[in-house]
Structure 1
Amino acid sequence: MAELWLVEIGKGAAKLLLNPVFYLLFFYAAWLGVSRVKKERRDFSVRAENAYYELRQLLPLGLLLGLIFSIIMIGAGLAVPLETVVFAAALTVLLSLTGKVRWLSPVYTLGFAFFLTTIAVQQKWPIPSWLQSVIEGDSIIFPAVAVLAGLLLIGEGILIARNGSKGTSPRLMKSKRGQIVGAHEVKRVWMVPVFLLIPGDALQTSFEWWPVFSIGDNVYSLILVPFAVGFYQHIQSSLPKLAVKNVGRRITVLGALVLLTSIAAYWYPIVAVAAITGAILGREILALRNRVQEDNATFYFSKQNHALMILGIIPNTPASKMALQVGEMITKVNGVKVSNENGFYEALQKNRAHCKLEVLDVNGEVRFVQRALYEGDHHELGILFVQNEKKWGNEAV
């Protein structure tokens, strides 16, 4: 039995390469990285993380989450309609064309795929036979989609809290009063590959080579499906790490509620519809709430009269090695008080071999950091400030 499962898992994993979403997400992550670097160079003439950062974040944690979700779905014998898988893939491709990364959340792609599957079955759409896995009146498989949606929503919250808060991108813009202010932006996409049981032998009917196996009196196929998890957040009123982690925690709680609700659908199938609807509406409410709060809040990263606000830190530079943090303020450089960029660089040049900074941290406490400077070190220490004299054309926000 163990050998049979290993063979089926291997064959199911190979089907990942047949799914266009697998290739789409690599392209999309690369596009996000290139777009981010262009924006950072426009604002600061230098980029923070390199263009491959989004690609490096695409899979690692998603693989672990996908493994956990696969064990839950297969272990519980939850079968997902093939129609739903195909609709979710098609919606992922279509929504990616909008350029709005947040629409790639599984709550939208899988949620709307659930409703399309329901309508297709009820209205008897002319779906090719090899895509049909739902028997008319077979409502027991629809709660499985609701459970999967809850799991993926929990996964989205974990990915946002753990990875979304890393490498947020600094931005410069003009406030409504025409002042230069700073903000942070997160545009990220992850892949969560999940092994799913597909009910019936529809695939084998058209593709004789497609493996099927039996569990009790039921026949299933096993495939590895890549789900996209997209996330966007604009942060201007607080520290980016805290803001992103708070959003991630709220989405995780929403996912847990959807998951608990979907379990009841096995006794009352109509609850699956309520669970999916609640997931979509809940995710939209969270996004709207966050957007309204940010639009009505004051800018955290604004010009200070007594210090320089740190908007960003370039990795592998003296600033990162001195453990300087976004949101901290530099009050003195080599014993000289500074309040603008020119003063900062002039004070820095007073001692080209050593740098000592007096820093006011995010808790309002003073600390001192120092480091020897070497040939080849970033001449500006690798700090991106909230004020920048470079001319650029962002519109007021």
Structure 2
Amino acid sequence: MSKLFALGFLGIVAFGAVSLFAAPEIAQAQAGLIPCGTGSPTAPGYVPCQLCHVFVLGNNIVKFLLVPSALNPIPIVLVIATFLFAWGGFVWVTAMGNPSRVQQGQQILLATVIGLLIVYGAWLFISLALDVFGVATFTGTGNWWEIDCSSPIVGGPPPPPPPPIPGCWALGAPCVMAPPGCCAPNVCDVGGTNTCIAPPPAGKQVFVTSTPFQGNLGGPIGADAICQGLADAAGIGGLRAWNAWVSKIGPPPDHAKDRIADHPYFRLDNTPVANGVADLQSGTILAPINQDEFRNTVIGGLGNPNSQVWTGTEDNGNVSGNECSGWMDSGGPPFGSRGTIGNATQIDSNWTDETSSPWCNSQYRLYCFEQ
């Protein structure tokens, strides 16, 4: 009986050795027992050999012996087992009542069954044990019988960064004609500098209009429409709504502080202006609102009409006594009305309440706040 097992073991070893030498031919039919180093090193998809591939080779040989595939639909182990079953049955049937021959045939059949149980039972036992202990879960190795030499070695050097994508640019580079998203994680400043700029901070934006207007704005709603139209024309409107910083007496009174959503506000160059409406009605803001919808800086100063802005609003955010008859009048002296103006170059109370003396036929800018 021991001779029988020895012969079977030697047969399997011999088959494995033959498989090594026959691997190039086998590779043509089934991706190869040898997982690397085949073909020209300059050919596309060439895989250089590593130590890991030694284990892949052993795993491939085991699969070739035990697992059905396109190359061997009936695994070699089952072919050998079939031969042993036939041999044992033949010895048993031809025993002619000879007890020793009957016993020999039975032992061959029993040894074959035990061998199959050991071979496939070991595989099943290992698989169940590793599943129970969750080895694949906490090691990330996946199926224990699959060896992936392409995975990075844990603890080894980090992989090199991916090469830059052609057609994408850094901060300050032109981007209008570039593919969408070329500035990521930055943004393309379309309609402004037309270059890649840093993304806007969390909050809303504010600008002063590039165009001055007389006091007949069509009421506060008309002033809002002016802001929206200028924002759309400059490419910063989109789905965003823009309201003007203007107040009217009413009735009912319409205060600028109530017309503006409570958000942090930034100029279009991302300079902080106010942390919220409370800052806008505190008498002091963080930076002058001196940038128009095209990101041009407004030049001027106190008393300079170029930087003066219609507001009708005191420094506390409430309506002042002069607001061009609800922003429906553009008359001059002696029968016209007057309106309060602020100054876009200032950060103290003058930003919204510089003077209330101008006649409404004068032309001044507007502050526009994103909502």
Report TM bin, short chain.
under 0.3
Normalising to structure 2: TM-score of the pair?
0.21
Normalising to structure 1: TM-score of the pair?
0.20
> Whose radius of gyration is greater, 1 or 2?
2
Which structure carries more helix by proportion?
Answer: 1
Q: Per chain length, whose mean CA-contact separation is higher, i.e. which structure has more relative contact order (CA < 8 Å, sep 6+)?
A: 1
Which structure carries more strand by proportion?
Answer: 1
